[in-house]
Structure 1
Amino acid sequence: MKFSLPQFILIGLGLFISLSVFGQGGSVLEINEADSLLGANGFERLLGNVKMKHQTTLINCDSAHFYRATNMAKLYGRVFIEDMEDSVTTKSAYAEYDGNTKLAKLRNNVIFDNGETKLYTDFLDYNRKANIATYFNEGKVVDSTNVLTSERGKYEVNLEKITFEDDVVLVNPDYTMKTNFLVYLTIPKTAETQGLTNLVSKEGNTLNAQKGSFYDTQNKLFRFYDGVVDTETSRVKAEELLYRELEGYYEGKENVRVFNKEREVEIFGDEGKYWEERGYSLVHGNALVRRYFEKDTLYLAADTLISQDHESDSLKYLLAFHSIQLVKSDLTGVSDSLAYNYNDSTIQLFQDPVIWNQKSQITADSMTFFIQNEELKRVYMQENVFSVMTDTLTNFNQMKGRKLNGYFTEGQINRLEIEGNGESLYYALEGDTLTQGINRTLSATIRMDFKDGVIKKVKYDVKPDGKFIPFQLVEEESSRLEGFQWRIEEKPSMETIFTWRKVEEIDPNEKNLFDEPDAEIRMPTDEEIQKSLEKRGLRPEKPKLKPLKKVGNLPNEKP
């Protein structure tokens, strides 16, 4: 249809004045370009290669509905929004842009691009004034290191901070993390979580926290709260656990526990450090050791524990210092310090050690115990050795000397051998019910054989010096060898161990987000939406618009 020159000038002038007036305020949407313009009275439909502008924001799309009265536009098809003053760009299939609030509502195939960090979703509200993007119904963030997904999220661009909520998953080449609340800083690439957090490494190691965590994804540094790190060779747990993966270093505070899976040894304490490569750990503060055997468990309490166990080291040991308490079904003891050799399962006690076995008590300056096939087989003692054994009438049979070798069968003593300055005192019984008297003997060597903890045979060297004291002549002094002490009140028990440190066992059924099936979230298709509306009696009608005849070119449009 042709227009006369006056008509063309009048329409073109009106459009020019309208655009100029709305562009003067600086906060209104402007139309820069479109292939065609339809509509009037505050509503315009822009078709083909639409270009709009709002302050420093440029908008491109295939078509748009522009509502001048409310300063809002609905954008359709290949929507692209960018700002000339920052690096953020967005793409979507559909969007609504409010020029008054600078709020962009982006829908379907949304890509929020901030240079190195990209956000993908189908539902995104972007407040350009505050520079905050919020998504819901699932989103994915990708940068050079990590991929993060969640049900909901908020990207605070100025702070380079993204908050993820509900079904959060972080994936990188080394780890997969699951949680329900995570704050990610895009510049240092750190992730901080709250509540239950579970990780699995590419090697299959697990890192779990019940009360949140911090993860530096570039420097491979972790901090867990009520956390456990479980690898093929060890398990480390603490209320606050620091793990530097590149150094293989752990540091724990409060209720620390380190479990060596190969040795079946678990160490507890208030604070601890562990070097994975060296197999070296240091734990102190009401420290405790549990050494697991097939039929039994050894408990060791101390102030400080040091463990060294690595294949390249010839010496593999556990050292314990101060206030030693040792409890096993066939062995109980106390001392100031202890050394346990992993290679040959020997235990050495130093500085005033005392050991109780069944009905016997042995003291010496130092002791070495040999454990074979998980049972106590032999004990070797040096200097000031003193052995006390009770009989069926609770009499104290005694031996002393410079050195002692003790031999055990099924955890019970069956032979004692004293070497050097030997002395013995044992009660002669009649039928295990009546005391006849006391045998006291001096001999360079003494050997006693036992059965069921009772002396059955005594053997001395060539020239022993002995005497028998009838029961009616026995006095307190004659019934004790010099240095005798019965220290049963010092004997530790399991109650003593648990008073020293109460161990809370790890719950094998603790909730783990990797045990839950992954839910697939899928957006309904247009056909499914249409059917759902029809079921509810809703059938939207398409608006019927009468096209306006194009009478001139838009500003900046070539004829």
Structure 2
Amino acid sequence: MHTSRFNTKIAAPCRNFILGLILLLPFFSSAQEKKEVEILQAGALVQSPHIANAQRLLNDVIIKHQDVLMYCDSAYTYEGSNRVDAFGHVHINQGDTLHLYAQKVFYDGDRSFAQAIHDVELHNKDIILYTDTLDYDMENDIGYYDCFGKIVDSTNTLTSKVGKYYMNDKIAHFTDSVIGFSDKYTIDSDNIKYNTESEIIYFEGPTTIRDSANTLYAEDGWYNTITGEADLKESPEVYNETQLLKAKQIIYNKENGDGFAYGNVLLEDYENRTIVRGNSVQYNELTELATVTDSAMFISYNETDSLFLHADTLRTMPDTVEGENIVKAYYGVRFYRSDVQGICDSLIYFTKDSLVQLFRNPVLWSEMQQLSAERIEMIQHTNAPDQILMYKNSFIIAEQDSGMFDQIKGKDMVGYVINGELNNINVDGNGQTLYYAREDKEIIGMNRAESSNISIRFKDGQIHKIAFMKQPTGELKPLLDLTENDRKLSDFKWQIDLRPVSKDDIFREPKTQTPEITEAAEK
């Protein structure tokens, strides 16, 4: 009796547990059940004698599996699996928006995978992918090929040897022999990603983009195929037949012409033979305006010599004269050329006329001479002597020996330079001269003379002949009779320590000056 009661207590829970399992079995069975391939339509169904567990469907076949509809001329289905091999005018429709066309498709519903072969087209809204063989992951909506393919939308066409199309992310990834084009641009690369929604191309590796105005090159960055905007990194360049722009990064907008370049920037103008360098450049290709800051340098080159100029800020712009550019340099200008060097606060350079205007305490050095005035102009002529025009408080100094300086002073002066040497000077107004007289190359005294207009000729850097246009006043004093005041004209200022001695020396910090281009210069 004791044993029977014991067994009864144990048996009841077991029966309840088993009954519970039996009741739950239909739910487990329903959860694990997979939807099978359904044959919605076929003209004929034939058991295949050559392939085990296979049946062949013929004529206007329609097959459904989950959200996939398949249309084809003929197909094989396989007992115990959700595989379908479809042939002839195959069309797969998934989720109403995606359509896959091919001559042959191997479909595996258990893996949600299809391989399409021959005349393949994958349509996703307004995007079409063309290729010969496409593997399509239907669960993740990814199509990929490695035998050349092409994606076309309303604007762009992109081709490559290898590609992946991520439909959910709206990204197409092209590698190996990538070519893209529209009516606005062409692109050559080996690795790009294309956002089919924004129509922006992202690239890695050497990439060349050509639009109607320029060629763009970079090894990293992006390009907007609609607006022409670009952010170029890794060895970027923008160039055309007349100009080249290089930097560490270039941001470019073809639509409005704006561009920004940063880091070791080089902007070269082939027609005007000029180069602008700096670490920060803003420019507009439509207006041809450019502003350069941070280590800004301007270079004007020719077959024989080059001018190197530095300022805090450089601006280049077109002049009213066709084919001519203007370069404006602001604040702390220093420049070097083998035959002439100079400093000033601000400067304007007209490229076609080879005219340079210097403002605010300009000083020039040519061979032995130091030239200064309130404003100076330099003009280079092809078949005539170069000119130096000096306006107001003009002063020329040349050191002949230690502490001995030839000096010319006047209101305005015009100097002529031949083969890089000052040949002669004409003084107009308030002319004064102070120079050391020589006999057999020995200094014997000092001549001092005044005349409103003076013409002076130089030889080997020294005053050789002086012609006074009006009766001069003056005297010759022996060296032993000279006082310290006798040795200098008023406003004498020898500034040799400021002279740039090389193209690298133009970056030496000058003395502080008040920066400003005069109103006359702006006109």
Superposition TM-score tier, normalisation by shorter sequence:
0.7 to 0.9
Structure 1 equivalent of residue 313 of structure 2: 304
- 1:456 counterpart SS class: strand
Distance, in Å, in 1 between the alignment partners of 2:508 and 2:114 is: 62
Q: Is the 8 A contact 1:44 1:66 kept in 2?
A: yes
Q: Is the 8 A contact 2:177 2:188 kept in 1?
A: yes
Structure 2 equivalent of residue 289 of structure 1: 298
Q: CA deviation at 1:320?
A: 0.6
Q: CA deviation at 1:436?
A: 1.0
Decide which of 238, 246, 261 is 1:229's aligned counterpart. Answer: 238
Structure 1 equivalent of residue 24 of structure 2: none
What letter corresponds to residue 69 of structure 1 in structure 2? G
Distance, in Å, in 2 between the alignment partners of 1:484 and 1:47 is: 109
Query: Do residues 243 (structure 1) and 252 (structure 2) align?
Result: yes
Q: How does 1:169-180 map to 2 (within 5 A)?
A: 169-180=179-190
Query: Do residues 479 (structure 1) and 479 (structure 2) align?
Result: no
Query: Do residues 166 (structure 1) and 176 (structure 2) align?
Result: yes
Distance, in Å, in 2 between the alignment partners of 1:37 and 1:462 is: 125
Q: Compared with structure 1, are the counterparts of its residues 230 and 310 closer, same or farther at alpha carbon in structure 2 (3 Å cutoff)?
A: farther
Decide which of 214, 218, 232 is 2:226's aligned counterpart. Answer: 218
Distance, in Å, in 2 between the alignment partners of 1:239 and 1:425 is: 54
Decide which of 329, 337, 356 is 2:338's aligned counterpart. Answer: 329
Distance, in Å, in 2 between the alignment partners of 1:57 and 1:386 is: 93
Distance, in Å, in 1 between the alignment partners of 2:384 and 2:254 is: 38
Q: Is the 8 A contact 1:396 1:426 kept in 2?
A: yes
Q: CA deviation at 1:251?
A: 2.2
Q: CA deviation at 1:119?
A: 0.5
Structure 2 equivalent of residue 530 of structure 1: none
Query: Do residues 118 (structure 1) and 137 (structure 2) align?
Result: no
Q: Compared with structure 1, are the counterparts of its residues 127 and 314 closer, same or farther at alpha carbon in structure 2 (3 Å cutoff)?
A: closer
Structure 2 equivalent of residue 445 of structure 1: 453
Structure 2 equivalent of residue 5 of structure 1: none
Q: CA deviation at 1:495?
A: 4.2
Q: How does 1:392-403 map to 2 (within 5 A)?
A: 395-403=404-412
What letter corresponds to residue 442 of structure 1 in structure 2? E
Distance, in Å, in 2 between the alignment partners of 1:196 and 1:374 is: 47
Q: CA deviation at 1:229?
A: 1.8
Question: Which has the larger displacement, 394-403 or 167-176?
Answer: 394-403
What letter corresponds to residue 213 of structure 1 in structure 2? G
Structure 2 equivalent of residue 11 of structure 1: none
Decide which of 263, 278, 290 is 1:254's aligned counterpart. Answer: 263
Q: Is the 8 A contact 2:185 2:225 kept in 1?
A: no
Structure 1 equivalent of residue 79 of structure 2: 68
Distance, in Å, in 1 between the alignment partners of 2:79 and 2:282 is: 67
Q: CA deviation at 1:290?
A: 1.3
Structure 2 equivalent of residue 3 of structure 1: none
What letter corresponds to residue 462 of structure 2 in structure 1? V
- 2:255 counterpart SS class: coil
Distance, in Å, in 2 between the alignment partners of 1:71 and 1:161 is: 30
Q: Is the 8 A contact 1:376 1:411 kept in 2?
A: no
Query: Do residues 33 (structure 1) and 44 (structure 2) align?
Result: no
Structure 1 equivalent of residue 366 of structure 2: 357
Q: CA deviation at 1:37?
A: 2.5
Q: CA deviation at 1:475?
A: 4.4
What letter corresponds to residue 356 of structure 1 in structure 2? W
Q: Is the 8 A contact 1:175 1:202 kept in 2?
A: yes
Structure 2 equivalent of residue 409 of structure 1: 418
Q: CA deviation at 1:254?
A: 2.1
Q: Is the 8 A contact 1:26 1:54 kept in 2?
A: no
Decide which of 95, 119, 122 is 1:109's aligned counterpart. Answer: 119
Distance, in Å, in 1 between the alignment partners of 2:343 and 2:506 is: 16
What letter corresponds to residue 97 of structure 2 in structure 1? S
Q: Compared with structure 1, are the counterparts of its residues 464 and 312 closer, same or farther at alpha carbon in structure 2 (3 Å cutoff)?
A: closer
Q: CA deviation at 1:393?
A: 7.9
TM-score, normalization by structure 1: 0.79
Q: CA deviation at 1:469?
A: 2.1
- 1:472 counterpart SS class: helix
Query: Do residues 150 (structure 1) and 160 (structure 2) align?
Result: yes
Q: Compared with structure 1, are the counterparts of its residues 283 and 105 closer, same or farther at alpha carbon in structure 2 (3 Å cutoff)?
A: same
Q: CA deviation at 1:61?
A: 2.1
TM-score, normalization by structure 2: 0.85
Q: CA deviation at 1:360?
A: 0.8
Q: Compared with structure 1, are the counterparts of its residues 374 and 92 closer, same or farther at alpha carbon in structure 2 (3 Å cutoff)?
A: farther
Q: Compared with structure 1, are the counterparts of its residues 302 and 465 closer, same or farther at alpha carbon in structure 2 (3 Å cutoff)?
A: same
RMSD between superposed Cα atoms in Å: 2.7
Q: Compared with structure 1, are the counterparts of its residues 466 and 312 closer, same or farther at alpha carbon in structure 2 (3 Å cutoff)?
A: closer
Structure 1 equivalent of residue 515 of structure 2: none
Q: Is the 8 A contact 1:74 1:96 kept in 2?
A: yes
Decide which of 44, 57, 61 is 2:68's aligned counterpart. Answer: 57
Q: Compared with structure 1, are the counterparts of its residues 368 and 44 closer, same or farther at alpha carbon in structure 2 (3 Å cutoff)?
A: same
Q: Is the 8 A contact 1:72 1:99 kept in 2?
A: yes
Distance, in Å, in 2 between the alignment partners of 1:139 and 1:375 is: 65
Structure 1 equivalent of residue 280 of structure 2: 271
Q: Is the 8 A contact 2:336 2:503 kept in 1?
A: no
Query: Do residues 196 (structure 1) and 224 (structure 2) align?
Result: no
Q: Compared with structure 1, are the counterparts of its residues 216 and 312 closer, same or farther at alpha carbon in structure 2 (3 Å cutoff)?
A: farther
Unaligned runs of 5+ in 1: 1-20, 502-559
Distance, in Å, in 1 between the alignment partners of 2:64 and 2:92 is: 9
Q: CA deviation at 1:187?
A: 1.7
- 1:372 counterpart SS class: coil
Unaligned runs of 5+ in 2: 1-28, 510-523
Structure 2 equivalent of residue 428 of structure 1: 437
What letter corresponds to residue 151 of structure 1 in structure 2? K
Question: Which has the larger displacement, 168-177 or 478-487?
Answer: 478-487
- CA deviations 1:123-175 (Å, max 9, x no partner) are 21111111111111211111111110111111111121111111111111232
What letter corresponds to residue 484 of structure 1 in structure 2? F
Q: How does 1:528-543 map to 2 (within 5 A)?
A: none
Q: Is the 8 A contact 1:26 1:55 kept in 2?
A: no
Query: Do residues 80 (structure 1) and 80 (structure 2) align?
Result: no
Distance, in Å, in 2 between the alignment partners of 1:219 and 1:376 is: 51
Decide which of 468, 487, 510 is 1:460's aligned counterpart. Answer: 468
Query: Do residues 43 (structure 1) and 54 (structure 2) align?
Result: yes
Decide which of 474, 487, 497 is 1:489's aligned counterpart. Answer: 497
- 2:504 counterpart SS class: helix
What letter corresponds to residue 110 of structure 1 in structure 2? V
Distance, in Å, in 2 between the alignment partners of 1:81 and 1:388 is: 91
Q: Is the 8 A contact 1:446 1:459 kept in 2?
A: yes
Question: Which has the larger displacement, 40-49 or 91-100?
Answer: 40-49
- 2:164 counterpart SS class: strand
- 1:159 counterpart SS class: coil
Structure 1 equivalent of residue 139 of structure 2: 129
Q: Compared with structure 1, are the counterparts of its residues 102 and 497 closer, same or farther at alpha carbon in structure 2 (3 Å cutoff)?
A: farther
Q: Is the 8 A contact 1:173 1:202 kept in 2?
A: no
Q: Is the 8 A contact 2:331 2:345 kept in 1?
A: yes
Q: Is the 8 A contact 2:90 2:104 kept in 1?
A: yes
Query: Do residues 317 (structure 1) and 319 (structure 2) align?
Result: no
What letter corresponds to residue 181 of structure 2 in structure 1? V
Q: Is the 8 A contact 1:197 1:213 kept in 2?
A: no
- 1:300 counterpart SS class: strand
Identity of aligned residues (%): 31
Q: CA deviation at 1:33?
A: 2.6
